[in-house]
Amino acid sequence: MNRVSRLGIKQLRIFAALLKEKNLSVVANQMGLTQQAVSANVATLREVFGDPLFVRTGRGVMPTVLAQEVAGEVNDILSALDRLVDRAPFDPAQVVAQVNICGADYAHYVALAPRLSAIRQQAPHLKLILSELQIDAVAGKMASGEIDIAISLPEYVPAHFPRQSLFHEHYVCVADESSALCEGVVSLDTLARQPHVVVSPARANLQGSADGWFEQRGLQRNIILSVPHFLLVGPMVKATGAVAFIPSRLLPCPGLKTVQLEENASPPGYELIVAWHPHSVSSPLINWLIRLLAG
């Protein structure tokens, strides 16, 4: 049998106590053991180290040269074990780390940007990397640790990943502030015939999230431009005289006004969540960031 396998935490604590007290009965009282139990553990230590370790004297015991040599290492091991199970309370001000948060431009803009001041104030040494949400790669990148947190729609992250709902968002139709569409109630039929700008962050194509909503009403809209980011919509709508659906939290948007649709109709909204990998469930830093984002 490997000698190390016979060595336990109790023996190491008895070893450290004897180095300090140099008396078996004192150590036994301190540790709530009988003197015979202390002697039995010392016998195991002697077999493991192949050395007497403690020699009896008239007043107790005296550590051998080997015992004195390994004393520092034994104390280091015991200190490491204590730190392992008795961790200091999490203090963001002491954190020196880097966290990668992925999301669409909209998610970074509405969910993260308003919290950055609080994050910087509370964790001044924390560095953040904001990256684009890549739908097809997000699960793998979170599993590998390349991404720590995702701000996303629920369907873009695996169902078993822990998550926290941030809010429910709805869409509003917008046009250039000078457009006649902004002056009255617009029918969906009229709206469908207008030139449309859509956002396709995942795949570059002339498709948008509201297509199905129009099709359910027997309408096909006239999409003339697709952009990858919501923050591009405003300039593109003004430049083309088109209309677009944008999340309500992006308003007010300079140069744009909302278009009132018949019966206040609008495409289905969505839930925005913050998600993290199961291996980060016990991370004080990740949990702290999640609480800030969801606060």
- List pLDDT tens digits, range 217-276: 999 999 999 999 998 999 999 999 999 999 999 999 999 999 999 998 999 999 999 999
- Number of neighbouring beta carbons within 10 Å of residue 134: 14
pLDDT at 205: 84
CATH architecture of 171-268: 3-Layer(aba) Sandwich (3.40)
Strand residue runs (E) in the chain: 54-56, 61-63, 97-103, 126-132, 149-152, 163-169, 171-176, 185-186, 195-199, 222-227, 243-247, 256-258, 260-261, 270-276
- The whole-angstrom separation of Cα 130 and Cα 149 is 10
CATH class of 3-85: mainly alpha
- List pLDDT tens digits, range 227-244: 999 989 999 999 999 999
Q: Hey, is 292 helix, strand or coil?
A: helix
- The whole-angstrom separation of Cα 248 and Cα 90 is 36
Q: Which CATH number fits domain 92-168+272-294: 3.80.10.10, 3.30.70.20, 3.40.190.10, 3.40.640.10?
A: 3.40.190.10
Tokens 């709206």 belong to: 191
Better pLDDT: 223 or 83: 223
- List pLDDT tens digits, range 132-152: 998 889 999 998 889 999 999
- The whole-angstrom separation of Cα 277 and Cα 171 is 29
Domain residue spans of the chain: 3-85, 92-168+272-294, 171-268
| Fold agreement (3-85, 92-168+272-294) | no
Confidence of residue 2 (pLDDT cuts 50, 70, 90): low
